[in-house]
Amino acid sequence: MSLFAGKLKTGLTKTRLGFIGKMANLFSGKEITESTIEEFEELLISADIGMMTTQQIIEALKEEIQNGKIRNYEHIRTFLKSELTDILGLPQPFSLYAERPFVVLCIGVNGVGKTTTIGKLANKAVLDGHITMLAACDTFRAAAIEQLEIWSRRAGSQFIKHQAGSDPAAVAFDAVEAAKARSIDLLIVDTAGRLHTKNHLMQELKKIKRVIGKSIPDAPHEVLLVLDATNGQNALNQAREFHQMIGVTGLALTKMDGSAKGGIVFAIKNELNIPVRLIGVGEGIEDFDDFIPQDFIEALFN
């Protein structure tokens, strides 16, 4: 087991005990009845697996029971593990697949760990040998610019900023032009996340995205939405809204170490079909890595 896989297993302890543990108590040594199936359905929903995904799982479970394939807890455990593995599918980790500079537009509401995620991603890219630049396009908070600059120094990346209050799209344009001139491999563009001005926020993000695309066709190459896993169904709603308005290509899930809400991974993937690219299980710069579905499933069940 890798160091990060061990941290993921530790981070999912609450989910594992609260979900798999309760499932074991529900079915172990007991007859599978309509009543226990209903309790199982409630358990799936409480783990934030989502109503739509839960209904699919329960329907498939009933069919397997009718066909005589499931008769005890171990059968149910194996069935659920297989169903959840199928939902997540193959790994789709973060990668620089296009021409350089590869541009990532990083979005998400305030408080989800967006700036920290950018810093950790920059650190990961620099360690992988990529020349990296961060752009501070959350210009409405001076503290956001300063925080990102600190992360940039820690990661060893280059940094582009304007004064607080500047036009975020202008910062993005200057950053893209600088990235082209300096032969940057990876440009990560930070953005604001003010939910209380939601329409303005979405229009601002669309403008940033257009400006980037005018400078580099097909950019941004990745629209990375950062979500706080502890937000449960609110995270699913955020993903749905951002995806409808901006077009999200990948997710970074943070704070997977703090609650029993790990099921949200399955709800988002199944309902929106947006791949989870990255996952964070702590505050340290090393507590962050590519999301590998099989590692997540194993950490959840074992």
Average pLDDT of the chain is 91
Going by C-alpha positions, the residue among 144, 240, 244 that lies closest to residue 189 is 144
Does the pLDDT value for residue 2 go beyond 70? no
- CA 147 – CA 37 distance, rounded (Å): 49
**Tokens 């499933």, residue?**
297
- pLDDT 10s digits, 207-228: 999 999 999 999 999 999 999 9
Tell me what pLDDT residue 12 has: 81
Phi first, then psi, for residue 256 (nearest 5°) are -75, 10
- pLDDT 10s digits, 230-262: 888 888 899 999 999 999 999 999 987 766 567
Task: Please name every residue paired with 279 in a beta bridge, in sequence order, or none if there are none.
Answer: 253, 289
- pLDDT 10s digits, 64-81: 999 999 999 999 999 999
Tell me what pLDDT residue 11 has: 78
- pLDDT 10s digits, 29-48: 888 999 999 999 999 998 88
- pLDDT 10s digits, 258-282: 665 678 889 999 999 999 999 988 7
Tell me what pLDDT residue 195 has: 61
The conformation of residue 92, written as its DSSP 8-state character, comes to: -
For range 165-194, the mean pLDDT: 96
Tell me what pLDDT residue 28 has: 83
- CA 280 – CA 114 distance, rounded (Å): 11
Half-sphere exposure of 283 (CA within 13 A, CB side): 1
Tell me what pLDDT residue 20 has: 84
- pLDDT 10s digits, 141-169: 889 999 999 999 999 999 999 999 999 99
Does the pLDDT value for residue 3 go beyond 70? no
Lowest mean pLDDT among 48-52, 111-115, 229-233: 229-233
Displacement of CA 150 from its chain's centroid (Å): 23
- CA 5 – CA 64 distance, rounded (Å): 32
- pLDDT 10s digits, 87-110: 999 999 999 999 999 999 999 998
Tell me what pLDDT residue 1 has: 56
The proportion of the chain whose per-residue pLDDT surpasses 90, expressed as a percent, equals 68
For range 124-129, the mean pLDDT: 96
101 upstream amide cis, omega within 30 of 0: yes
Tell me what pLDDT residue 261 has: 63
